[in-house]
A and B are shown apart, each in its own frame.
Chain A
Amino acid sequence: METISHTSQAKPNYLNADYGLKSWLLTTDHKRIGILYLISISVFFVLGGFFAMLIRLELLTPAGDLVLADTYNKLFTMHGVVMIFLFLLPAIPSVFGNFLVPMMVGAKDLAFPKLNLASWYIFMIGAGFIMYSVITGGLDTGWTFYTPYSTTYSNSNVVAAALGVFITGFSSIFTGLNIIVTVHRMRAPGLTWRRLPLFIWAHYATSVIMVLGTPVLAVTIVLVALERLFHFGIFDARYGGDPLLFQHLFWFYSHPAVYIMILPAMGVISECIACFSRKRVFGYDFVAMSSIAIAVLGFLVWAHHMYVAGISTYAALIFSLLTFFVAIPSAVKVFNWTATLYKGSITFETPMLYVFAFIGLFTIGGLTGVFLAAVGIDLHVTDTYFVVAHFHYVMVGGTVTAFLAALHFWWPKMTGKMYPENFSKASALLVFIGFNLTFFPQFLLGYLGMPRRYHAYPAEFQVLNVLSTAGASILAVGFLMPMIYLAWSLQYGKDAGDNPWHAAGLEWKTSSPPPTFNFDETPTVTWEAYNYDEIDAPGGPTHNKGVEVAG
């Protein structure tokens, strides 16, 4: 490693290595591809958020007078499709996974750089199909595409959207493939499995799900399209087909997919919490293994989405039992993170605030998942706002919060600039307050019995809905702010230096922004992950030379 220059901009890095649109669109540098993903998914997040705000506005009044029923149905469908397939699934793995995995394992790039670029193009083509369906009249099946509504009764552009989801699926598969192979084959000398950052473990587990689960969604979508185009009858009761078979195949992917969304987020949390409490993550082995356990057990529980759908009572019980098991590794993680704080030396930079928010909100979201796992309760609350609240707590309170933590934590790494700490703290607070105000009332609504996907509702539910909409407005401001100040910081932000957090991890041992091939020389690892004791020790060890050492 070279010595640190304080004007990192002067150093050649992946950003200034080459100029012009072409140099970005044809890049095979995993970091640039990460940035391409970041830009794309941000656009889709704003779009999905726009749909969300229209949903919330519509639900301000019980009568359903802002938009037509059909329009409303398209709004929540497109909100769900865009948020899940175009934002949350790729959010952390494709942006931060792409950017960080090679650096964290000490490699020059992912194993298959061209495939990586292809993944982005595939993603954009798939997104193009989904956008085409949005523009040509929208999609109104719900993000779950349930048959026979989607195959026979919907008048919207199902085939284009389904094709879009099919195509983005391959982007996901290739990203997962690339990460698995990279972790196995491209690790720097000395970087044993038990020295890997937990971020890598989480991404590895995620990739396993991507590779094993996504193809099943793909073939299911092919069958839906065939059914819609040629009346194949496989899912159509009129021809003796079983609509529930679709649900089985869909959830075989889509339940594990929720772990595609949360596992990388958990990886982010492990990195941040270690850094800002200057400690090794408590129970490293257990946290690492719980990621794998979640990935494996996650494949055994899918029919908990179908308790009332007409499956057999016995199957419902089996799936309920298995679902309770999958909650345990998440509990292990939460407790280990909490224990990491014990006897730490804690500071409260913005990423850490998001970490605290994550743990609290994920705990609530996860525990309400346990409510849903209990068949006796789920019978009452399934397909109500209770479920909507549950999954926003884990997906927004969990993953989006972790995404923001990651964005702030690695922003200096990616851009060489610091974000403004005051603004970011204010926005973190807004997100936290706005989020809870938006989604907590929905638990109450759900238990009261307000069904989801309702364009109009009985008047007694109004007050809670108004609260929720009010919260969503605060939340929108909270999400808007980072977009503004982060963009601002690109020009006017303070220079970050190479390692503003004095963080452990190979990605911080190169300059910020990193050079094109990450490391001038392939590092040889001789230390454990999260060696904060060595970093913070006076004088620091040799491998850490050059990093300003605090205390």
Chain B
Amino acid sequence: MSSHAHHPTVKTFVAVWIALLVLTAVTVYVATLDLGPLNPIVALTIATVKALLVLLFFMELRYSTALTKVGVTAAIFFLLILIWLTLSDYLTRGWSSYIHPFH
């Protein structure tokens, strides 16, 4: 697509809508398979694709100013900070700081 003055058409919306429905069907189907640790990865990847479709087309982020894009990226960045640094505690608690007296 061209400049930001160009707004999506009804056709784009319907296409995105269909894509979303298809992805929903896929993710529900995949959930019935046992892929082990891949299950959450697949499901979240699909969710992220769906989220991006909504963000970029329905919410027209694709046609928004750079500033808006930076803002959304920043929010996601800080959310990841929250999750990542919190997990830095939870995931290392097991590396017991406590000595193993019997080694």
Please measure, in the bound complex, the distance between the C-alpha atom of A252 and the C-alpha atom of B86, giving whole angstroms.
9
Contact of A299 with B89 in the complex, beta carbons under 8 Å:
no
Given contacts A314-B92, A318-B85, 16 further A-B contacts (CB under 8 A): A212-B75, A244-B89, A248-B86, A299-B78, A300-B85, A302-B85, A311-B93, A312-B88, A312-B89, A312-B90, A314-B88, A314-B95, A314-B97, A315-B89, A315-B92, A318-B88
Closest Cβ–Cβ distance, residue B98 to chain A (whole Å): 9
Given A212-B75, A315-B88, A318-B88, A252:B82 Cβ within 8 A = yes
Give the distance in Å from the alpha carbon of A212 to the alpha carbon of B97 in the complex: 33
B→A interface (CB under 8 Å): 67, 74-75, 78, 81-82, 85-86, 88-90, 92-93, 95, 97
Bound Cα distance A216, B81 (Å): 13
- CB-defined A-B contacts under 8 Å, sample of 29: A184-B67, A212-B74, A212-B75, A212-B78, A216-B82, A244-B89, A245-B86, A252-B86, A299-B81, A299-B82, A300-B81, A300-B85, A303-B85, A303-B89, A311-B89, A312-B88, A312-B89, A312-B90, A312-B92, A312-B93, A312-B95, A312-B97, A313-B92, A314-B88, A314-B97, A315-B85, A315-B89, A315-B93, A318-B88
Report the separation of the CA atoms of residues A314 and B81 in the bound assembly, to the nearest whole angstrom. 17
When C-beta atoms are compared, the residue in chain A nearest to B87 turns out to be: A315
Chain B's closest residue to A301 (CB) is B85
Q: Is the interface of A mostly helix, strand, loop or mixed?
A: helix
Residues of B within 8 A of A299 (CB): 78, 81-82
* Nearest chain B CB to A335 CB, angstrom units: 28
Interface flags, A286-314, vs B, CB<8A=1, else 0? 00000000000001101100000001111
Q: How many angstroms from the CA of A313 to the CA of B93 in the assembled complex?
A: 7
Query: Which single residue of chain B is at the shortest CB-CB distance from A306?
Result: B89
CA distance A212 to B78 in the complex (A): 8
Tell me the minimal C-beta distance from A375 to chain B in angstroms: 12
Alpha-carbon gap, A315 to B87, bound state (A): 9
- Tell me the complex Cα distance, A245–B90, Å: 9
Report the bound CA distance from A315 to B95 in whole Å.
11
Residues of chain A lying within 8 A (CB to CB) of residue B92: 312-315
Measured CA separation A184–B70 after assembly (Å): 13
Bound together, the chains give a CA A353 to CA B86 distance in angstroms of 42
**What DSSP secondary structure best describes chain B's contact surface?**
helix
Inter-chain contacts of A311 with B (CB < 8 A): 89, 93
Distance, CA A311 to CA B87, complexed state (A): 11
User: Which listed residue (A216, A302, A313, A318) contacts B97, Cβ 8 A?
Assistant: A313
Find the B residue at minimum CB distance from A315.
Answer: B89
Which A residue's beta carbon lies closest to that of B75?
A: A212
From 241 to 274 in chain A, residues with beta carbon under 8 angstroms from any chain B beta carbon are: 244-245, 248, 252
A312–B91 alpha-carbon span in the complex (Å): 8
Kindly provide the distance from the CB of B6 to the nearest chain A CB, expressed in whole angstroms: 23
In the complex, chain B residues whose CB is within 8 Å of the CB of A314: 88, 92, 95, 97
A-B residue pairs, 8 tightest by C-beta: A313-B97, A315-B89, A312-B92, A314-B92, A312-B93, A311-B89, A248-B86, A315-B88
Complex Cα–Cα for A428 and B89 (A): 45
Chain A residue contacts of B75, Cβ below 8 A: 212
Q: How far is the CA of A184 from the CA of B97 in the complex (A)?
A: 48
Of the listed residues B78, B81, B88, the one surrounded by the most CB atoms of chain A closer than 10 A to its CB is B78
Chain A nearest CB from B99 CB (Å) reads: 12
Question: What is the CA–CA distance of A302 and B78 in the complex, to the nearest angstrom?
Answer: 13
How many angstroms between the C-alpha atoms of A184 and B66 in the bound complex?
12
CB distance from A192 to the nearest CB of B (A): 15
Closest to B88 in A: A315
Expressed in whole angstroms, the Cα–Cα distance for A184 and B68 within the complex equals 11
Give every chain B residue within 8 A of A303 (Cβ-Cβ). Answer: 85, 89
B81 touches A248 (CB 8 A): no
C-alpha gap A248/B89 in the complex (Å): 9
Interface residues of A in 166-219 (CB under 8 A from B): 184, 212, 216
Q: Which of A212, A216, A303 has the most CB of B within 10 A?
A: A212
Q: Closest approach, in angstroms, between the C-beta of A85 and any C-beta of chain B?
A: 21
